[in-house]
C-alpha cells in the first residue's frame, strides 16, 4: 500500500507507538484491563482540558462532539450567537438552527479573527442570549480566535454560556477551560491527539452542566447525563471504542512524557518554521492571526491550486489540504499536529520548491535546491 506523509490539518500522521497500540488484539470493553485504560484516558483528558470537570469520550467525529454540546444544553427557541468566520462556523450555526435555536451571527471576513468588542456590543444589546458559539481555530482559514478575551467578556453574563469548538486547537495549544471560563469545549482525535478519526472529547463547565436538566432538545445517544453516570461506575454507557480509547491512552502518555508546555512549544515552532520557509518560496500566510495548529498559505495567482495539491500527493507522497469554497484552488493548508519528523518537514519544503520551480515561480527560481536542502537541515539543528 502506498504511504503518505499526512501533513493535513487532520487527520495526521500517527505516532508509531499509537500505531502499535492500534494493532493490539481485541479485548472486551467490560474487562478490568479496559476499565483501567478508560480511567487513565478520562483522567488524562482533564489535564489536557485543564479542568476539574468531567471530560467525556464520545464515539463520534468532532461534529458529533459539537452536536453533543448543543443537545445537552439547548432548548428550542433559545437565543444563540454564532461567530461565523469560515466553514466550521457555518456548520455550527446550521446545527444550532436545526435544533430550533434563534441564531444570530457575526460574520467575520475569511482570514480575520473576531473582534471581541463585537461580541461585547451584541451581548449588551441582547441580554437574553444563552449561548455564544465560536471556533478556537477556524480550520478553513487557519485563524486563531481570541478565546481568552471572548471568555472574559461572556463571563460577565451569568445567563450566557460560551461554547468553543476546539477541534483543531485542543492539544495543540493551551485552552485552559476553567481558568479562562469556557463553558463547553470540544476536541477531536484526528488532530493533536495523533489518533485516527472517530473520537471526540467534550467537557462542560459547572454552569453549563446545571443547564443540562433544563435543556429541552430531544437527545438519546448524546444524552451525556447517562454517560456521566456510567463513567462514574468506571464504564461507558454504550459499547466503548476499545481500540481508539486504548490508543488515546498511549497518546496522552506521549504528551505527558514530553510535557504539555514543551509539546505546545514544539507545535508553535513547527508552525513558525514552516511559515518562514514557505514565505521564502513565495507562499505567504493567508492570515496574520494564524493558529499554531495549521498554516494557510496563499499560492501564486498563476498556479492551479487543485492540480498543485494533487501533484504534491502523487509525485511526492505528501498530503496537505487545499482551500474550501472561496479559497478553493487558492491556498494550501498544512497541519502542524500529529507525528512530524525533521526529514518529513524538509521533504515538504523541498517538494513545494520543486513544484514551484516547475511553475517558473520567481522566488523559487532564486533558490538553489542543494543550498536550500543544506539551509533547511541547518535551521533544524540550530
Ligand atoms: C474546527 C473544526 N470543527 C469541526 C470539524 C469537524 O470535525 P469532524 O470532521 O471530525 O466531524 C473540524 C474538522 O476538521 C474542524 O477543523
What is d(CA 251, CA 17) in angstroms, rounded to the nearest whole number? 8
Per-residue pLDDT at 362: 85
Q: How far is the CA of 232 from the centre of ligand 1 (A)?
A: 28
DSSP 3-state of 83? strand
Q: How far is the CA of 239 from the centre of ligand 1 (A)?
A: 23
Q: What is the mean pLDDT of residues 162-179?
A: 98
Closest-lying ligand 1 atom to the alpha carbon of residue 65? 11
**pTM for this predicted structure:** 0.97
Q: How confident is the model at residue 268 (pLDDT cuts 50, 70, 90)?
A: very high
Q: What is the mean pLDDT of residues 6-24?
A: 97
Q: What is the mean pLDDT of residues 245-266?
A: 98
Q: How far is the CA of 65 from the centre of ligand 1 (A)?
A: 9
Cβ–ligand 1 contact at 168 (below 6 Å): yes
Whether the pLDDT of residue 264 is over 80: the answer is: yes
What is d(CA 96, CA 141) in angstroms, rounded to the nearest whole number? 22
Domains and CATH numbers, the chain: 5-9+259-381 (3.90.1150.10), 16-257 (3.40.640.10)
What is the average pLDDT value for the chain, to the nearest integer? 97
Residue percentage of the chain with pLDDT more than 90? 97
| Range in 172-176, 208-212, 258-262 the model is least confident about | 208-212
Alpha helices (runs of H) in 212-259, residue ranges in sequence order: 224-232, 242-258
Whether the pLDDT of residue 382 is over 90: the answer is: no
What is d(CA 282, CA 81) in angstroms, rounded to the nearest whole number? 38
Which uninterrupted H or E stretch holds 104?
strand 102-107
Helix axes 305-316, 342-358, angle to 10 degrees: 130
Per-residue pLDDT at 77: 98
> For 22-76, what is each residue's pLDDT tens digit?
999 999 999 999 999 999 999 999 999 999 999 999 999 999 999 999 999 999 9
> For 178-222, what is each residue's pLDDT tens digit?
999 999 999 999 999 999 999 999 999 999 999 998 999 999 999
Q: What is the mean pLDDT of residues 287-302?
A: 97
Cβ–ligand 1 contact at 165 (below 6 Å): yes
β-partners of residue 7 are none
Closest-lying ligand 1 atom to the alpha carbon of residue 136? 1
Residue percentage of the chain with pLDDT more than 70? 100
DSSP annotation string for 126-138: -TT--EEEEESEE
Whether the pLDDT of residue 276 is over 80: the answer is: yes
Q: How far is the CA of 291 from the centre of ligand 1 (A)?
A: 15
Helix axes 62-73, 87-98, angle to 10 degrees: 40
Cβ–ligand 1 contact at 62 (below 6 Å): yes
Q: How far is the CA of 11 from the centre of ligand 1 (A)?
A: 10
Cβ–ligand 1 contact at 61 (below 6 Å): yes
Q: How far is the CA of 191 from the centre of ligand 1 (A)?
A: 9
> For 327-365, what is each residue's pLDDT tens digit?
999 999 999 999 999 999 999 999 999 999 999 998 999
Per-residue pLDDT at 225: 96
Per-residue pLDDT at 294: 98
Cis peptide before 11 (omega within 30 of 0): yes
Amino acid at each position: 500500500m502506498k504511504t503518505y506523509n499526512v501533513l493535513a490539518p487532520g487527520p495526521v500522521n500517527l505516532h508509531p507507538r499509537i500505531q502499535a497500540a492500534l494493532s493490539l488484539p481485541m479485548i472486551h470493553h467490560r474487562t478490568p484491563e479496559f476499565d483501567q485504560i478508560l480511567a487513565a484516558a478520562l483522567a488524562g483528558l482533564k489535564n489536557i482540558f485543564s479542568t476539574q470537570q468531567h471530560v467525556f469520550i464520545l464515539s463520534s467525529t468532532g461534529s458529533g462532539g459539537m452536536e453533543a454540546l448543543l443537545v445537552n444544553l439547548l432548548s428550542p427557541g433559545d437565543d444563540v450567537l454564532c461567530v461565523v468566520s469560515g466553514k466550521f462556523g457555518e456548520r455550527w450555526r446550521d446545527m444550532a438552527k436545526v435544533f430550533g435555536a434563534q441564531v444570530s451571527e457575526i460574520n467575520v471576513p475569511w482570514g480575520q479573527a473576531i473582534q471581541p468588542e463585537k461580541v461585547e456590543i451584541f451581548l449588551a444589546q441582547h441580554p437574553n442570549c444563552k449561548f455564544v458559539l465560536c471556533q478556537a481555530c477556524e480550520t478553513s482559514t487557519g485563524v486563531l480566535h481570541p478565546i481568552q478575551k471572548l471568555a472574559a467578556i461572556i463571563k460577565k453574563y451569568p445567563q450566557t454560556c460560551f461554547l468553543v469548538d476546539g477541534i483543531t486547537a485542543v492539544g495543540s495549544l493551551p485552552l485552559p477551560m476553567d481558568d479562562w471560563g469556557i463553558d463547553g469545549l470540544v476536541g477531536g482525535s484526528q488532530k493533536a491527539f495523533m489518533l485516527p478519526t472517530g473520537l471526540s472529547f467534550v467537557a462542560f463547565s459547572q454552569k453549563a452542566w446545571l443547564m443540562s436538566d433544563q435543556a429541552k432538545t430531544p437527545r438519546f445517544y448524546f444524552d451525556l447525563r447517562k454517560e456521566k453516570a456510567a463513567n462514574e461506575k468506571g464504564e461507558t454507557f454504550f459499547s466503548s471504542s476499545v481500540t481508539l480509547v486504548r490508543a488515546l491512552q498511549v497518546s496522552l502518555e506521549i504528551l505527558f512524557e514530553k510535557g504539555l508546555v514543551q509539546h505546545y512549544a514544539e507545535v508553535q515552532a513547527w508552525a513558525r518554521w514552516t511559515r518562514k520557509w514557505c514565505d521564502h518560496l513565495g507562499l505567504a500566510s493567508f492570515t496574520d492571526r494564524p493558529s499554531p495548529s495549521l498554516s494557510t498559505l496563499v499560492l501564486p495567482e498563476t498556479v492551479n491550486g487543485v492540480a498543485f495539491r494533487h501533484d504534491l500527493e502523487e509525485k511526492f507522497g505528501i498530503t496537505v489540504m487545499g482551500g474550501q469554497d472561496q479559497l478553493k484552488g487558492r491556498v494550501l493548508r498544512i497541519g502542524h499536529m500529529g507525528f512530524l519528523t525533521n526529514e518529513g518537514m524538509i521533504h515538504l519544503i523541498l517538494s513545494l520548491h520543486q513544484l514551484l520551480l516547475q511553475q517558473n515561480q520567481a522566488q523559487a527560481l532564486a533558490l538553489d535546491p542543494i543550498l536550500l536542502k543544506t539551509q533547511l537541515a541547518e535551521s533544524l539543528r540550530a
